[in-house]
Structure 1
Amino acid sequence: MHIAIVGAGQAGAALAARLRALGHKGPVTLIGAEPAAPYQRPPLSKAYLLGDMPLDRLLLRAPEFWAAQDIRLVTGVAVTALDPVAQTLTMGAEVLHWDQLALTTGAQVRRLPAAMGGDLAGVHYVRTLADVDGMAPEFTAGRRVLIVGGGYIGLEAAAVAAKKGLHVTLVEAAQRILQRVAAAETASWFRDLHMKNGVELIEGVSLFRLTGQGGVTGADLADGRHIPCDFAIVGVGILPDTALAGAAGLVLDNGIAVDAQGRTSAPQIWAAGDCASFPYRGGRLRLESVPNAIDMADCVAANILGGGTAYVPKPWFWSDQYEVKLQIAGLNTGYDRIVVRDTGTARSHWYYAGDRLLAVDAMNDPRAFMVARRLIEAGRSADPARVADPATDLKTLMG
């Protein structure tokens, strides 16, 4: 049985490796449009951009792994057509037949339209290795960078720029940074952190357009202000990469729609990672995270080989900014109150719906993260009063 995997990111690499670990002996082909071998994306906007992580450490596997596992790795070639009936795909001049196919196409950045200056030189995005390699020479002390978007990608880029001695201005159209993903308490904590490091934050004001002749030199904001800059970084979210699946007639619903086992509307085609939405608590959920990409890929690999297991997500995420590691467990959708735990040396924000624990944001507090994560995965909660009391030993919450 020939298993083809389209998309050589975290999910695709994990799926290919898992197939071999589970004993699959047939051909496996892993296809990536980028010229690089599979690599980690999260460090791109953190350690790699800072220069603290070399390329060889960025790679998910040593170069010899793929040949040793008899996995055909095809890089730098985009799949341009997919035929679910004939069970073929087209990549370059080659038409490849497959028996089972997994789509791990990931996501693409939202780009500014040309009318807003999105096509000017010096406008950068953070998604691929080529993106970050292209912007790295811009990070010279004393230069001015404008960052559009106050989500985690924008804040991570701001932290790197500030640490490198640049003058940083970040513009967020929403009323506050992290508005879509975190509570006001977490946003306030990170706002203070960035301001202490010299970042100028402009919240509640949208970008009207980037300005310049050929290359970006500034930005006009919706309130009439003009912000001069030497280059710009745009971090306004990502979209699931569904173009290939959509053209092949697969059902789409906030990504490539899959069933509980990861199978798409075509019986021999599966999907995993950022591009896939799966059944969750009566609705559908799509998660953009490394842990989800790996866990879902592992589950899909087993199911391609007949496992028949439903995917159960265990959501967690992280962000590195300056010397702070933020760890997030759970999903905060539907919370109605925040319980703040501050011991003086560590801080965490616990999300509750009534008395039910939903999620936690832990800033340099790995113990809070681990305890909350175990509670959430076990479907249990913790007494909010005990959580808020800095004298409480968090381990006792597990009892």
Structure 2
Amino acid sequence: MTHVIVIGAGQAGAACVARLRSKGFDGQITLIGAEPHLPYQRPPLSKAYLLGDMPLERLYLRPEKFYSDNDITLRLGARVSEIDREAQTVTVDGETLSYDHLVFTTGSKPRRLPASIGGDLDGVFVVRGLSDVDAMAPRFEEGRKVLIVGGGYIGLEAAAVAAKRKLEVTLVETAERILGRVAARETADHFRQLHSENGVTLMEGTALSRLIGEDGRVTQAELSDGTRIDVDFVIVGVGITPETDLAEAAGLGIDNGIATDSFGRSSDPHIWAAGDCASFPHKGGRLRLESVGNAIDQAEAVADNILGAETPYEAKPWFWSDQYDAKLQIAGLGSGHDRVVTRSGPGTGRSFWYYRGERLIAVDAIDDPRAYMVGKRLIEAGKSPEPSLISDPAQDLKLLLKA
């Protein structure tokens, strides 16, 4: 009987095994996860779950019954220690399992502060897994002082939750502005104002020099301008890196993640990869996407190709971020843009349209779902409306799809 083993029980791993069964695969499936929990969704961790607005059960992607009903073996709280590519086996908690196909959906891991600047002090947290959020949640008490290191989406979302819980929030960003790697200046300006209106102290162009502790617990932060601030705890959101340790140890090709071909195969034809841990061919180069949409779509494509579809994966990037009552929806990839067109939407909604030359490449829509949906469809269709039409609030966006 054919055996597919999937290492990594997150969004991509869960999507892969579900797709295999839905497409009629009747072989053996084993899903291995390092965490003891059923596969769960991560985006709400730094938002609704941390706020207490979402119970644990709603985090789960599927109930346990789904896996038993579909004859999917779950190995949770388990660690893979070795992969023998020649024998086509994996060692899990001392047990050897044989595979016909092996899929890496190991995701990514957060960058942490080095111990040399106090990163190992009690009260310093990252936001990645359920255990991280459960550990920091009791600290979110009104009046406490929190320092957030990093002005990307994770840091800003955590800042929004802390501000809503009435903590004193300071956010430091080493770069000249927040969202410097991932969004246009116009989008950053919008969220800077939103956070300032909610009482967050944003310090851009300011680095953390070191954390200071007493009895092993963080109590102060010294910043690059020499100032010191009192802190009760610290949240670090300075990016993630692909989880490739096992793949590297197995001798697979690595290129900003586990390097796959357009079908999701690694350098070993019996081993595949999908989600945050995988890089794939894209427009003459290689791309690795950190998003729920990519994790699901790429994992399902890998499942199809394991079953013989031989269909290249074509990424359709989309992302989102919830901060306070504002919802940011992003379609496309804005890197390399040379122009941003602003459009006013309904109410307080607005959208920012990224152009590279004459070509529309991305849209950031804030509280404007219509702009997001139209922008996404235009990008996928390869259509680039005249910027003057986009900026005209009287222009019906849906008509642009018919042009």
Which shows bigger deviation, 125-134 or 219-228?
219-228
SS at match of 2:217: coil
Q: Quote how far apart the aligned CAs of 1:268 are.
A: 0.1
1:391 to 391, 394, 397: 394
Alignment partners' CA distance in 2, 1:387 and 1:84: 53
2:335 to 330, 333, 336: 333
Q: Quote how far apart the aligned CAs of 1:343 are.
A: 3.6
1:366 aligns with 2:369: yes
Contact 2:345 2:368 in 1 (8 A): no
Query: Residue 360 of structure 2 aligns to which amino acid in structure 1?
Result: L
Q: Quote how far apart the aligned CAs of 1:116 are.
A: 1.1
Match of 1:350 in 2: 353
Alignment partners' CA distance in 2, 1:86 and 1:305: 22
Which shows bigger deviation, 376-385 or 342-351?
342-351
1:281 to 280, 283, 300: 283
1:149 aligns with 2:150: yes
1:78 aligns with 2:91: no
Q: How does 1:262-301 map to 2 (within 5 A)?
A: 262-301=264-303
SS at match of 2:206: coil
Q: Quote how far apart the aligned CAs of 1:83 are.
A: 1.1
Q: How does 1:1-399 map to 2 (within 5 A)?
A: 1-213=2-214, 214-343=216-345, 345=347, 346-399=349-402
SS at match of 1:277: strand
Which shows bigger deviation, 170-179 or 205-214?
205-214
RMSD between aligned residues: 0.6
SS at match of 2:279: strand
Query: Residue 371 of structure 1 aligns to which amino acid in structure 2?
Result: V
Q: Quote how far apart the aligned CAs of 1:344 are.
A: 5.9
Q: Quote how far apart the aligned CAs of 1:397 are.
A: 1.0
Q: Quote how far apart the aligned CAs of 1:287 are.
A: 0.1
Alignment partners' CA distance in 2, 1:105 and 1:116: 29
SS at match of 2:384: coil
Alignment partners' CA distance in 1, 2:250 and 2:207: 37
Alignment partners' CA distance in 2, 1:327 and 1:4: 34
Query: Residue 357 of structure 1 aligns to which amino acid in structure 2?
Result: L
Which shows bigger deviation, 86-95 or 193-202?
86-95
Alignment partners' CA distance in 2, 1:176 and 1:306: 47
TM-score calculated relative to the size of structure 1: 0.99
Alignment partners' CA distance in 2, 1:376 and 1:96: 44
- Which whole-Å deviations, capped at 9, do the CAs of 1:139-166 have from their partners, x for residues lacking one? 0001000000000000000000000010
Which shows bigger deviation, 217-226 or 239-248?
217-226
Alignment partners' CA distance in 1, 2:345 and 2:250: 54
- Which whole-Å deviations, capped at 9, do the CAs of 1:301-340 have from their partners, x for residues lacking one? 0001111000000000000000000000000111000000
Alignment partners' CA distance in 2, 1:304 and 1:84: 17
Q: Quote how far apart the aligned CAs of 1:223 are.
A: 1.2
SS at match of 1:338: strand
SS at match of 1:212: strand
Which shows bigger deviation, 206-215 or 125-134?
206-215
Alignment partners' CA distance in 2, 1:369 and 1:83: 46
SS at match of 2:12: helix
Alignment partners' CA distance in 2, 1:369 and 1:344: 13
Alignment partners' CA distance in 1, 2:271 and 2:129: 26
Contact 2:345 2:351 in 1 (8 A): no
Unaligned 5+ residue runs, structure 1? none
Query: Residue 272 of structure 2 aligns to which amino acid in structure 1?
Result: W
Alignment partners' CA distance in 2, 1:90 and 1:344: 56
Alignment partners' CA distance in 2, 1:25 and 1:343: 49
Unaligned 5+ residue runs, structure 2? none
TM-score calculated relative to the size of structure 2: 0.98
